[in-house]
């Protein structure tokens, strides 16, 4: 079976297709959302999801989150003396989801459709594919998150032509996509976005507002207190959706520091973030050559679209109410599962042709003449422009710029800057040309880009007909199958605890975190319940473990309620 996976910045999900449509697979804790958080302790034990998130308050130096934002980069994360790339951390999350899917379905899962932000460039997409391979998954296809959302909303089943805008504001990335459905073709018309804008940024604004009102600086807080501030800000961000004022507080220097924040103050603090939302919307409409009035439906996906200040802003911006019939956290995973069913050619799924666009312009570096006899090198020449429907093939003729020039080098670049140095380097190809006066010899450079993000570059000398070709597969930071297998072996020394231990481990970590954050009588009571539970675990008495765990959980929940009042 092929599963669909939403590998998110904040949370990840896995889904599969049934006779009744796509369904989310619950994780080992019985929940749909698995936090995209990884922790590694000194003994090499890997924690993923909620247990890793709980460890952040206790051992912040051993935890990594929002690593999706660094996919495709050379950044490394140091966790308890172990070094990991972003795709390796993502592979732990994917392996965790894979195990949950196998336990739920009762069969081995080796293939997946994984969603990626529409605005992910070539490097980030290939890093995502490597993460899947490191997790032991064959990545059948990567589907853009907005396209997956459109499929999940059932638009592939509509009979009339529809133009719609998908607004995707997740935990760490933001995409706007305009899609059009006609007959059985779902075409992406334009994409725009920001890989560094999401719900986490709105929580940060709440934290900044707290510090400002409390007369504090972030540098006043130690690592653990900073994590407590982040957690309190996340809670306050959600609570302010339902009420005009929230009381935000956390334990600081052994006393609870509290501040009242109004919804109006919070909205004013988020004005700059809301302003960042506007530009990609305008850009996508302009690239699609459409006006807002041409859009039939607006779909909201991503957990951050639940924020009332975001929804109110969007209603004012779009001058219409968006469609919110599906859970914005789950929509992408459900759509990925539908795409997986299409790959399996399931009869229950109406076949739909999904087209995509080139998210970033593909071009090459050239020398330009800006005045008679005066030249400037390092300029960018677009060949396939952003938001061109793919597969696509485009040709640009380039000329020699020096007398007796013997070769032409084509540097393959991706990006939007006028200057080559500011764009992403993908590879290069060099071809010999006959000697002659400048401008006498020329080459035709043809780029062909397909749905699987493979770019074929052909350079043909016009005078001789000699040509060279290459396939750009993202050789920078690219791993061969042998290298992937070797790295999988290297990561095998890490210990991933059995699924059955997860609930007990989570309760203990949560209790330990709350013990550190408690004072006085509540701390003493908590110590009592933790001691009872640990004694039951040592005895390995299943019934006693369950009873003491429920007692501890009840006390923790009551304490959490007190904290958030």
For residue 272, give both structure tokens.
């700059």
- Cα(451)–Cα(497) distance, integer angstroms: 38
Percent of the chain with pLDDT over 70: 92
H/E element, 17: strand 11-18
Q: What is the pLDDT of residue 102?
A: 96
For residue 504, give both structure tokens.
């007990």
> What is the mean pLDDT of the segment spanning 500-514?
86
Domain residue spans in the chain?
1-153+327-351+479-498, 199-271, 362-472, 518-564
115 contacts 336 by C-beta, under 8 angstroms? yes
> What is the mean pLDDT of the segment spanning 445-468?
88
Q: What is the pLDDT of residue 273?
A: 94
Evaluated on CA atoms 309, 315, 321, 322, the torsion sign reads negative
pLDDT(474) > 90: no
> What is the mean pLDDT of the segment spanning 420-432?
91
**Angle of helix 520-539 relative to helix 542-564, nearest 10 degrees?**
160
- Residue 307 DSSP symbol: -
Q: Which residues, other chains included, contact 516 with Cβ-Cβ below 8 Å and sequence gap of 6+? A: 57, 58, 224, 251
Residues composing the chain: 565
H/E element, 426: strand 424-432
For residue 315, give both structure tokens.
């209603």
**What topology does CATH give the domain 1-153+327-351+479-498?**
Nucleotidyltransferase; domain 5 (3.30.420)
- Cα(150)–Cα(14) distance, integer angstroms: 17
What residue has token string 């993908």?
Answer: 426
The catalytic residue positions are: 6, 68, 145, 168
- Residue 321 DSSP symbol: P
Q: Which residues, other chains included, contact 392 with Cβ-Cβ below 8 Å and sequence gap of 6+? A: 358, 384, 448, 449
Lowest mean pLDDT among 265-274, 309-318, 384-393: 384-393
Nearest residue to 6 via CA among 302, 299, 351, 300: 302
pLDDT digits (tens, 9 = 90+) for 100-131: 999 999 999 999 999 998 878 778 888 999 99
pLDDT digits (tens, 9 = 90+) for 155-178: 655 657 788 899 999 888 898 989
What residue has token string 């247990």?
Answer: 51
Strand partners, 374: 371
The mean pLDDT of the chain is 87
105 contacts 25 by C-beta, under 8 angstroms? yes
> What is the mean pLDDT of the segment spanning 297-312?
91
Spell 221-258 as b/e; 16+ CB within 10 A means b: beebbbbbbbbbbbbbbbebeeeeebebbbbbeeeebe
77 contacts 67 by C-beta, under 8 angstroms? yes
Strand partners, 443: 398, 461
Q: What is the pLDDT of residue 564?
A: 40
- Cα(134)–Cα(71) distance, integer angstroms: 14
pLDDT digits (tens, 9 = 90+) for 213-271: 999 999 999 998 999 999 999 999 999 988 889 999 998 888 889 999 999 999 999 99
pLDDT higher at 423 or 187 = 423
Q: What is the CATH number of domain 362-472?
A: 2.60.34.10
- pLDDT category of residue 211 using cuts at 50, 70 and 90: very high
Distances (CA, A) of 336 to 10, 142, 333: 18, 9, 5
For residue 79, give both structure tokens.
């966790």
* CATH for 199-271 (3.90.640.10, 3.10.330.10, 3.30.70.260, 2.40.10.10): 3.90.640.10
What residue has token string 């009551």?
Answer: 558
Count of CB atoms within 10 A of residue 5's CB? 29
- Cα(77)–Cα(75) distance, integer angstroms: 7
pLDDT(192) > 70: yes
For residue 146, give both structure tokens.
């907005």
- Cα(501)–Cα(540) distance, integer angstroms: 12
In 477-541, alpha helices (H): 481-491, 502-517, 520-539
Q: Which burial class, exposed, middle or buried, applies to 348 when counting CB atoms under 10 A from its CB (0-12, 13-18, 19+)?
A: exposed
Q: What is the pLDDT of residue 477?
A: 41
């Amino acid at each position: 079976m092929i599963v669909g996976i939403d590998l998110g910045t904040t949370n990840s999900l896995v889904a599969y297709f049934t006779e009744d449509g796509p369904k989310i697979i619950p994780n080992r804790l019985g929940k749909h959302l698995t936090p995209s958080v990884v922790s590694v302790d000194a003994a090499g034990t890997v924690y993923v999801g909620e247990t890793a998130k709980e460890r952040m308050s206790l051992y912040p130096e051993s935890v990594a989150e929002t690593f999706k934002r660094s996919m495709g980069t050379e950044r490394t994360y140091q966790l308890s003396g172990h070094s990991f790339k972003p795709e390796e951390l993502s592979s732990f999350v994917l392996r965790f989801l894979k195990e949950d899917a196998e336990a739920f379905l009762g069969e081995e899962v080796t293939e997946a459709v994984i969603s990626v932000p529409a605005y992910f460039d070539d490097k980030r997409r290939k890093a995502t594919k490597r993460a899947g391979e490191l997790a032991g998954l064959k990545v059948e296809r990567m589907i853009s998150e907005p396209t997956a959302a459109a499929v999940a909303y059932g638009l592939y089943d509509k009979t009339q032509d529809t133009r719609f805008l998908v607004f995707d504001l997740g935990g760490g990335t933001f995409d706007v996509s305009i899609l059009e459905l006609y007959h059985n073709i779902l075409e992406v018309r334009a994409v725009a976005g920001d890989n560094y804008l999401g719900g986490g940024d709105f929580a940060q604004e709440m934290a900044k507002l707290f510090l400002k009102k409390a007369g504090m600086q972030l540098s006043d807080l130690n690592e653990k207190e900073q994590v407590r501030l982040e957690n309190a800000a996340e809670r306050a961000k959600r609570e302010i959706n339902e009420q005009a004022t929230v009381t935000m507080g956390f334990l600081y220097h052994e006393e609870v520091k509290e501040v009242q924040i109004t919804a109006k103050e919070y909205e004013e603090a988020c004005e700059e973030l809301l302003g960042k939302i506007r530009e990609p919307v305008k850009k996508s409409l302009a690239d699609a050559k459409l006006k807002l009035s041409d859009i039939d439906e607006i779909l909201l996906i991503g957990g951050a679209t639940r924020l009332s200040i975001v929804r109110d802003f969007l209603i004012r911006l779009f001058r219409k109410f968006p469609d919110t019939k599906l859970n914005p956290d789950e929509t992408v995973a459900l759509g990925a599962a539908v795409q997986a069913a299409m790959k399996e050619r399931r009869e229950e799924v109406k076949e739909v042709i999904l087209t995509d666009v080139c998210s970033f312009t593909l071009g090459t570096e050239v020398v330009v003449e800006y005045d008679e006899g005066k030249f400037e090198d390092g300029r960018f020449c677009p060949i396939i422009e952003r938001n061109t429907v793919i597969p696509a093939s485009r040709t640009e003729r380039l000329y020699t710029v020096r007398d007796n020039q013997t070769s032409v080098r084509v540097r393959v670049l991706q990006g939007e800057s006028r200057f080559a140095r500011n764009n992403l380097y993908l590879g290069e190809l060099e071809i010999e040309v006959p000697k002659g006066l400048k401008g006498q010899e020329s080459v035709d450079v043809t780029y062909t880009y397909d749905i699987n993000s493979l770019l074929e570059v052909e350079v043909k000398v016009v005078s001789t007909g000699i040509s060279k070709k290459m396939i750009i597969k993202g050789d920078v930071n690219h791993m061969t199958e042998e290298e992937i297998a070797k790295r999988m072996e290297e990561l095998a020394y890490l210990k991933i605890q059995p699924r059955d231990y997860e609930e007990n481990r989570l309760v203990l970590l949560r209790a330990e975190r709350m013990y550190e954050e408690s004072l006085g009588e509540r701390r003493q009571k908590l110590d009592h319940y933790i001691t009872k539970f640990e004694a039951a675990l040592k005895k390995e008495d299943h019934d006693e473990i369950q009873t003491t765990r429920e007692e501890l959980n009840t006390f923790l929940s009551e304490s959490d309620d007190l904290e958030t009042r």
